[in-house]
Amino acid sequence: MQDENREKQQTEPQEVVSWYVRPEGQEVVDCYVQPRPMPAGAVPPRPAPPKKRSRKGLWAFLIAAGVLAAVVVTATVIASLRGGGVIPPADGGTGDGSDASSIVNISKVEKTTIPRMQGEAGVSLVCTAPTGEKLSIQDMYEKVNPSTVLVVADKGEQASIGTGVIMTEDGYIITNAHVISGGKSCWIALDTGYTYDAKLIGYDEDRDLAVLKAVDAAGLPAAEFGDSDLCRVGDTVYAIGNPLGVELRGTLTDGIISAINRDVQVDGRVMTLLQTTAALNNGNSGGPLINEYGQVVGINTLKMSGNGSEAEATVEGLGFALPISDACFVVNDIIANGRFRGVPALGVMVIESDENGGQVAVYTVSEGGGAEEAGLLPDDVILRADGQEIRSINDLMAVRRTHLVGDTMTLTVQRDGQVFDVAVTLYASGD
Contact yes or no for 116/200 (Cβ under 8 A): yes
Backbone angles phi, psi at 319, to 5 degrees: -110, 160
Q: Under DSSP, is residue 47 helix (H, G, I), strand (E, B) or coil?
A: coil
pLDDT of residue 109: 67
CA distances from 216 to 75, 120, 122, 213 (A): 34, 14, 18, 9
pLDDT of residue 330: 93
Catalytic residue among 147, 285, 305, 325: 285
Helix (H) or strand (E) holding 353, with range, is: strand 348-353
For helices 55-64 and 66-73, angle between their N-to-C axes, nearest 10 degrees: 60
CA distance linking residue 311 with residue 102, whole number of Å: 17
Burial class (CB in 10 A: 0-12, 13-18, 19+), 244: buried
What single DSSP character describes residue 78? Answer: S
pLDDT at residue 113 is higher than 60: yes
Q: Between 31 and 65, where is the model more confident?
A: 31
Contact yes or no for 237/257 (Cβ under 8 A): yes
CATH 3.40.1280.10 fits 10-105+141-324, yes or no: no
Q: Between 253 and 60, where is the model more confident?
A: 253
216-256 pLDDT, tens digit each: 999 999 999 999 999 999 999 999 998 877 778 889 999 99
CA distance linking residue 202 with residue 399, whole number of Å: 24
pTM for this model (two decimals): 0.69
298-338 pLDDT, tens digit each: 999 988 766 554 445 566 778 999 999 999 989 999 999 99
385-407 pLDDT, tens digit each: 999 999 888 888 888 888 888 88
CA distance linking residue 319 with residue 82, whole number of Å: 13
CA distance linking residue 289 with residue 303, whole number of Å: 13
Catalytic residue among 208, 227, 267, 395: 208
CA distance linking residue 409 with residue 329, whole number of Å: 15
CA distance linking residue 165 with residue 215, whole number of Å: 15
Alpha helices in 84-195 (DSSP H): 137-144
140-163 mean pLDDT: 92
Q: How confident is the model at residue 345 (pLDDT cuts 50, 70, 90)?
A: confident
Q: So what's the architecture of 344-428 in CATH?
A: Roll (2.30)
pLDDT of residue 292: 97
Catalytic residue among 30, 80, 178, 395: 178
Q: Between 357 and 369, where is the model more confident?
A: 369
pLDDT at residue 178 is higher than 80: yes
Q: Is 403 a catalytic residue?
A: no
88-101 mean pLDDT: 26
CA distance linking residue 84 with residue 38, whole number of Å: 10
Chain-centroid distance, C-alpha 146: 18
Backbone angles phi, psi at 274, to 5 degrees: -85, 135
Number of helices (H), then strands (E), belonging to the chain: the values are: 7, 23
Q: Is 181 a catalytic residue?
A: no
Contact yes or no for 290/240 (Cβ under 8 A): yes
pLDDT of residue 101: 20
Q: How confident is the model at residue 36 (pLDDT cuts 50, 70, 90)?
A: very low
**What are the extents of the domains in the chain?**
10-105+141-324, 344-428
Burial class (CB in 10 A: 0-12, 13-18, 19+), 304: buried
